[in-house]
Structure 1
Amino acid sequence: MTDRPLSNIRVLDFGQYLAGPLVGMMLADMGAEVIRIDPPGGPRFKSPASDMLARGKSSLVLDLKNADDRAVALDLAARSDVVIENFRPGVMKRLGLGPDDLRAVNPGIISLSMPGFASTDPELAGLAAWEAVIAARTGQFTDMGLNRRLMGINPSFTPLALASAYGAAFGAMSVLFALAARDRNGGDHIEVPLASALLEGLIYNCEQIEDYPARYKSPREVELDRRTANGLPMNLRFEELSEFLDPFYRTYTCADGRGFYVVACSIAGHPQRALRTLGLSDLANELPDFSAYLDCKDWPAAWSARNYPVGAKDRARISSAMKAAFLTRPSHEWEALFGAAKAPGTAQRFTQEWLADPHALASGLVLVVDDPRYGKMRQMGNVAWIADDALAAVKQPGPTLDNARDQLGTILSERVRPAPVRTGKGGWIEGLKVLDLTNVIAGPTIGSTLARFGAEVTLVQPVEPSVDPWNAVVFGLHAQRGKKSILLNLKTPEGKDALTKLIAEADVITMNGTDEQRDKLGLSPERLEKMNPRLILVQLDAFGGPLRGPKSDHLGYDDLAQAATGVMVRFGGGMATPEEHAHFGTIDVLTGFCACISLAAALERRNRTGKGGIARAALAAAGNLIQAQFMYDFEGRGPFDEPFGREARGWAPFYHCYEAADGWMFFAAPEEQREALRAVPDLADLADQPEITLSAVLAERFATRPFAHWAAAFAGTSSTVVLLGSLHATRDTAIQRESDGAIDLTQATFRVIRHDRHPMGRWADLVAPNAVRPERGRITIPGPMPEYGTHTREVLGRLGYHPETIDAMIGAGAASESWSGKYLPE
């Protein structure tokens, strides 16, 4: 097919394990020709997941230490558009395949390097950067969520490969945006350190605000503060934690014993919808309901249904009523009822159940692929796609080893792909006009990400906010950076007229909502085609896929995607103890990044064909992505026995958290294993210890010496130990004040900006946009999030409205300049 979004792109995928192959898979899923370069013996990742990651690719076995094979690799690069690799820094250069070598044969090549830590980082560049080593050093395993902290469990381990997921999303979008700018900038080399990507993905877990108002703290945070202030132990049992969960943000047990997760807080009307769906209309009518943007001192009641959380005196009463109601029906019935009522909720599932779920299969979120090795194999579907791409839900299986050898002669007979030699330094999408209609986290992440690459983003929100300030302002500090903000009432003719004018000048519109909501807003595919055939709509939702399924119009948020795809049951340890996965925005942020991939592919297609369309991503697809290494099933598959639950410390003895004499560390010897122990005198006698007891024996031995001793013992090997960091400590050691001048984004792996001139009047610590580091493309640090409505007059004036007309619109409520008297209500 020649009309697929990326059908004109050829990619050489040198990636191994997860991050690099994921980028190649994402590009192949949208039609790129991807040639996987394998070492002799095949991929180093010996797992059925490797077959999934290879789908749609061809394979060529090359020994890159052999001069003839290196010459073949360079010949292929001369005839390709993109090269991907995720080796340690310097490996490709030593092989004669570094960025300069590639540009020498192809000035237009876009090369992507994905090391674990920044190649310019003097402390971390040489670290053996296995996935869990990156997570451990960054702080992913420490203080793993409010539940674990209140139970006194620290550290915890999770098998979710968040660094590779976030890094792959950044990698895929960056090579496509760089291709869009090739006529201006020429070829480019891009580095995406996986640890930098991880910190950006977990931004909401290390965001810090000066004098943070107490009203935004959840009941669990209040209890955590109380125990800390009074020197009380962190020893809550899991069963006791339910008393600290908000009634509209928790799991309930249904008549069939399955958990049902409700996330119906913070959005006006959602708590009432949930209660009415449960048959609790009288209780719904009793909820206090007033603006969440008033300061607490001005509240007419102790709490508002529009504001998270529910007040302490009503929490138990509402929870008790909801518990009793859920026990009257099985979970699948509640799922259908909540979906129809537009009340956000979903049944809890195991990952294996999600892979066989009727909606997942019908929508293309999960695909059945005829794998030559494993037969009918259910696999995660696309993480980004174009709505009219008929083959988005059709996948070719992965290659047999070296199946590209027969076509090699034909490929090498092609002429070298010419590209104009350019030396521009501009942003990859400079001047792209984006109209942002999104809210909460996932949707706004799209616009803030595009702003770093040069896009001009105008954010439109309603004059009466439907989202509480916890979601819109506190989370918006990061997700709304770099945008102009206008408030319009789209229920008025004047507001609709202004929106129509904004659409007319836009290249791209972003929205988070279902197909039903999209069409109601007047952005159906048919209307978009009539308005502007080149216009691209980026649509993000919870359960949408390349195809329609029974739950395509169900509402949902990050935690609901976690529940539906198996993340919460995995993290909590079972159906009776599901827990949200430790970190705010785990899936939200990733979905925003995936939407940027789909936009980048749509721009590539538009550059070639002039055709716009709808670029898609979904929370559930991102839920697949963070579980990519075990998101597959087939007859005869081994058990889904990845590490799970509260007591998990690692995968196995050689990939595990251990406590040294002076603190926790992570030990990684996934390849050397027994040989790694034999090489260390203090551990050599344990090399033949039985596997079943080895973790316990290693724990005893590691506890006898400080971390520095073990770090020295493993120095210079492919095995390593690394101290367990914390996200807060990583943040605090990476802060650079905005008032000090230019922010350096290129040296250290981690960089955090203290916005000490923030318009809210408090300083805010936010992770810097440094996960994508191009040589030629320019990265812009987006300015602070403006107060909502700050640019209403400016934007309306740009659209041609006279100042008197603007005054009249504001006076009549068709437009507004603010939501509240303060940037952050207190």
Structure 2
Amino acid sequence: MMTETSVRQRRGPLHGVRVLDLSRVLAGPFCSLILADLGAEVIKVEEIDDGDQTRTIPPFVGGESHYFLAINRNKRSVALDARTDRGRALLLELAKRCDIVLENFRPGVMERLGLGYETLKTLKPGLIVCSISGFGANNSMSAKPSFDLVTQALSGVMSINGYADGTPTKLGLPLGDIGGGVWAAIGVLAALNERNATGQGAHIDLSLLEGLMGFLGYLAEIYFVTGESPGRMGNSHHNIVPYGLMPVKDGHIVLALHVGSFWRNFCRAIDREDLITDARFRTVKDRHANRGELEQQIEAIMRTKTVAQWQQILDAADVPHGAVNSIGEAVSQPIVRERGFVREVQHPRAGVVKVLGNPLRFDGHSERSPVEPPPLLGQHTREVLGTLLGLESADIDRLVADKIIAEPARAARQE
């Protein structure tokens, strides 16, 4: 029987939790990324030939996709053909040894594969299964395909993004999928807490449409209260003024004057204390009612100085503001370096690769705990099947020969 090739260091509060991740692309893998960053052991199961679809998306470094590298650190990869009887049997055995199973097939696919919740529950009553799909299970749209862009369109999010005189615009971030991953992580952690109390597992049905709509918050409430859908505001806020992107002498800066004290600080900073007592702008309601006139005055003042000059003035006055960074500027800014949020990993093919770190910091856990590189396709197949299932090396060799499972050498020949 094989033994662990290395001792996995305790990396976070979820140490000891094991996740079987059957999901692909973004929503499910983003959930398992959160769990892995928190210390869970994540076993990512991939198809034996091509693996996760994100492995094929350019640009590449050392033959590895930027997309896959971005969301699969701290995970182990097992390449396995679940469509075969022996592959399915291996999956079921792995599930018995895990706490959580993640999947993002369309509803019904897991049942057709012989991996449905009732089957898994029989094998291990305490298992937590999270099923992520575009529209959730058991409804008129369950069988429809969906991706992030479809979710953004149907959720109403695109209708409020962009300028009033322009077309509906998708978000720059794939928030439908990423948000789904966040909701999934919340769901499985809640189910873990429930299991600690009752000993029972759970099946979580997560609709990505509802997940993104769950972020609408006060924007949905505007409709419920007024009967009118909020429209597109460009870089401005629907109700708070001034709050948005302001042109300055050499570019742009954002102002976020959400509460009265910041509004008053801003007026003093721009040497316009008269605006504080001006009846047209005294309250949030007043400033909203006179948006056009106020924004015109503020923009004229802001254009008189550069970004750097305004940063100095607004910092001194304790006014929430920010320069508009590119991605490169964002990941290189001093505060990000100061907190060590960008990490470096040594990848077996791509060499030294930079990845984003975990934004959650827990007292008592090292902020500089090791980050494992995103895995090669099937990199840990032999280790996981040997360690968890007790398979001998000869048994694993036969499974490789029969194309039930795969290792990196086979994956390389498929490229």
TM-score, normalization: structure 1? 0.41
Q: Taking structure 1 as reference, are residues 20 and 383 closer, same or farther at Cα in structure 2, changes over 3 Å only?
A: farther
1:160 pairs, out of 169, 173, 185, with 173
CA deviations over 1:736-767 (Å, ceiling 9, x no partner): xxxxxxxxxxxxxxxxxxxxxxxxxxxxxxxx
Cα displacement (A) at 1:409: 1.3
Q: Which residue of 1 aligns with 2:51?
A: 42
Cα displacement (A) at 1:321: 2.5
Separation (CA, whole Å) in 1 of partners of 2:296 and 2:239: 10
Separation (CA, whole Å) in 2 of partners of 1:308 and 1:42: 57
CA deviations over 1:344-398 (Å, ceiling 9, x no partner): 0000112232122232232244433334444443333325442442146752211
Q: Which residue of 2 aligns with 1:148?
A: 163
Contact 2:248–2:302 (Cα < 8 Å) also in 1: no
Q: Taking structure 1 as reference, are residues 249 and 393 closer, same or farther at Cα in structure 2, changes over 3 Å only?
A: farther
Q: Which residue of 2 aligns with 1:411?
A: 388
Q: Which residue of 2 aligns with 1:316?
A: 296
Cα displacement (A) at 1:176: 0.8
* Comparing 189-198 and 354-363, the one that deviates more: 354-363
**DSSP-derived class of the 2:101 partner:** strand
Q: Which residue of 1 aligns with 2:187?
A: 174
Counterparts in 2 of 1:316-715, with a 5 A limit?
A: 316-324=296-304, 327=305, 329=306, 331-332=307-308, 334-335=310-311, 337-339=313-315, 341-391=317-367, 394-407=370-383, 408-413=385-390
Contact 1:26–1:383 (Cα < 8 Å) also in 2: no
Separation (CA, whole Å) in 2 of partners of 1:159 and 1:315: 26
Contact 2:132–2:205 (Cα < 8 Å) also in 1: yes
Contact 1:386–1:392 (Cα < 8 Å) also in 2: no
Separation (CA, whole Å) in 1 of partners of 2:78 and 2:374: 12
1:184 pairs, out of 172, 187, 198, with 198
Count how many residue pairs are aligned between Structure 1 and Structure 2: 368
Q: Which residue of 1 aligns with 2:273?
A: 284
2:19 is the counterpart of 1:26: no
Contact 2:336–2:342 (Cα < 8 Å) also in 1: yes
2:68 is the counterpart of 1:65: no
Cα displacement (A) at 1:405: 2.2
2:286 is the counterpart of 1:270: no
Q: Which residue of 2 aligns with 1:130?
A: 147
Instruction: Flag structure 1 segments of 5+ consecutive residues without an equivalent.
Output: 225-237, 290-300, 415-826
Separation (CA, whole Å) in 2 of partners of 1:311 and 1:393: 51
**DSSP-derived class of the 1:74 partner:** helix
TM-score, normalization: structure 2? 0.79
2:94 pairs, out of 68, 76, 85, with 76
Contact 1:269–1:306 (Cα < 8 Å) also in 2: no
Separation (CA, whole Å) in 2 of partners of 1:274 and 1:91: 56
Cα displacement (A) at 1:213: 12
CA deviations over 1:49-74 (Å, ceiling 9, x no partner): 21221100011001000111111111
Q: Which residue of 2 aligns with 1:252?
A: 246
Cα displacement (A) at 1:14: 0.8
CA deviations over 1:449-472 (Å, ceiling 9, x no partner): xxxxxxxxxxxxxxxxxxxxxxxx
**DSSP-derived class of the 1:83 partner:** strand
Contact 1:62–1:69 (Cα < 8 Å) also in 2: yes
Q: Taking structure 1 as reference, are residues 371 and 341 closer, same or farther at Cα in structure 2, changes over 3 Å only?
A: farther
Separation (CA, whole Å) in 1 of partners of 2:224 and 2:172: 33
Cα displacement (A) at 1:333: 5.2
Contact 1:10–1:80 (Cα < 8 Å) also in 2: yes
Separation (CA, whole Å) in 1 of partners of 2:239 and 2:20: 49
Q: Taking structure 1 as reference, are residues 210 and 357 closer, same or farther at Cα in structure 2, changes over 3 Å only?
A: closer
Contact 1:138–1:199 (Cα < 8 Å) also in 2: yes
CA deviations over 1:592-630 (Å, ceiling 9, x no partner): xxxxxxxxxxxxxxxxxxxxxxxxxxxxxxxxxxxxxxx
Separation (CA, whole Å) in 1 of partners of 2:35 and 2:240: 41
**DSSP-derived class of the 2:273 partner:** helix
Q: Taking structure 1 as reference, are residues 276 and 102 closer, same or farther at Cα in structure 2, changes over 3 Å only?
A: same
Q: Taking structure 1 as reference, are residues 203 and 271 closer, same or farther at Cα in structure 2, changes over 3 Å only?
A: closer
**DSSP-derived class of the 1:148 partner:** coil
Contact 2:37–2:74 (Cα < 8 Å) also in 1: yes
CA deviations over 1:100-130 (Å, ceiling 9, x no partner): 12112211110110011121112x1111122
1:196 pairs, out of 193, 210, 213, with 210
- After the TM superposition, which parts of structure 1 deviate over 6 Å for at least 4 consecutive aligned residues? 244-247
Separation (CA, whole Å) in 1 of partners of 2:129 and 2:97: 13
**DSSP-derived class of the 1:309 partner:** helix
Contact 2:136–2:142 (Cα < 8 Å) also in 1: yes
